[in-house]
Amino acid sequence: MIREALLYDKLDDDRVQCALCAHRCKINPGRRGLCGVRENKNGVLYSLVFGTLIAEHVDPIEKKPFFHVHPATRSYSIATVGCNFSCEFCQNHEISQMPRSTLMITGEDTAPAVIVERAKNSACKTIAYTYTEPTVYLETALETARIACLEGLQNVFVTNGFMTPEAIDIISPYLAAANVDLKSFRDEFYKKQCGAKLNPVLDTLKKIKERGIWLEITTLLIPGLNDSLEELRDIAAFICSLGSETPWHISRFHPQFKMVRTPPTPISSLHRACHIGKEAGLMYVYSGNVPGDEGENTYCSNCSNLLINRYGYRIVANYLSGNSCPKCGKKLEGVF
């Protein structure tokens, strides 16, 4: 399905400028933006993926990952094809890069109201816009999110954060939480590895916090690229400036896509990064992609009591009293 796109300006000679993500593509007639899913047809910009789902699954909310959003519940997770990044380590490159690599757009046409109904029937508390990049299918996400709120469901974004302030303004009233990838704290990394820039992501993180949306941050730790002590300290300090309650998920890299020769992240590097985060003052620092690691657990930031014991995406034990520590009574920050 196609629909006229949100957030664009008409220019001369039937050109348009998209204002959805920070690329702000200027698109000639008959051409598409960098995401591959927004096309200029005779001076009108269209989304080519409205309601066209390439992925639709029921996932544990912890898989997103969200560790402070309705623990142990399920999230109805959807995506269309397309992405505004070109990450060489993308784990979902078959669908995120499809419009660029093959010019194909495929999926099952599914109306937003149907998505919400399926989510309710699956006993999910949230709808997650994930797998690819929800910014590029904002028209679908926005209409679905509006209906979901009316039906008592909450919405969460899993995003690279490369969106414009205009896009944040449109979607933020309907978002309960966002997990943003902070892939590096170096602009060179973003340019070379992702085809993007760092500062728009930092701006998005600030704006999400300003709007009162619950924020969790994920960094995929890639050996030799973003794992230096200096860079990790810079990331930790920035997250702390947003609020020390902001969870930081530090995930282990595994070889994939165009980086199959890069070795997996040593677990010792993951633990070192977690230590740096805690040393900077962050209350909640988690290790990811290492099932059974102690860094998957949530501890009380006041008395260090174990609150949630995890193994991978599974909660082994939840000791919370409501959303508070049963030992000292401190409330656990998040969406409960």
Domains delineated in the chain: 3-47 (no CATH), 52-296 (3.20.20.70)
R_g (Cα) of the chain, nearest Å: 20
pTM for the model stands at 0.97
Paired residues of 311 in beta bridges: 314
CA-based nearest residue to 260, from 221, 312, 222: 222
Question: Tens place of pLDDT for every residue, the chain, 336 residues?
Answer: 899 999 999 999 999 999 999 999 999 999 999 999 999 999 999 999 999 999 999 999 999 999 999 999 999 999 999 999 999 999 999 999 999 988 899 999 999 999 999 999 999 999 999 999 999 999 999 999 999 999 999 999 999 999 999 999 999 999 999 999 999 999 999 999 999 999 999 999 999 999 999 999 999 999 999 999 999 999 999 999 999 999 999 999 999 999 999 999 999 999 999 999 999 999 999 999 999 999 999 999 999 999 999 999 999 999 999 999 999 999 999 999
Nearest to 241 by CA among 202, 193, 201: 202
Helix axis angle, 267-279 to 229-242, nearest 10°:
40
Structure tokens at 18: 């998209």
